[in-house]
Amino acid sequence: LVDKSDDHSSGMNISEITRELKLVRGSSSRRIVREKVLKMQEMGVLVENTVGKSTSYAPSERVLKSWYSILGFRTSESKDGHK
């Protein structure tokens, strides 16, 4: 999802997430993916981006900062010494 959100600045839609999941797992269900995505959105893991009729989902800023920190990447905020 992170890699794909870089390609599409607004993230991935349910169908794209389902296709990617099918490549990894061998099977997937749009209904189940939608349920999980909505649950992750409620938890603050994903954010919804809606443009017209198109809705996509991307990792939240909080999650990205956590991943960058875990991986040892410095964000522009941490370089300046500000949070």
Helix (H) or strand (E) holding 57: strand 54-59
Percent of the chain clearing pLDDT 70 (strictly above): 78
What is the phi/psi pair of residue 13, to 5°?
Answer: -85, 175
SS (H, E, C) 15-54: HHHHHHHHHHHCCCCHHHHHHHHHHHHHCCCEEEEEECCE
What single letter denotes the amino acid at residue 42?
Answer: E
The closest alpha carbon to 2, from 53, 70, 52, belongs to 70
pLDDT tens figures, 7-21? 445 799 999 999 999
Query: Does the global pTM surpass 0.85?
Result: no
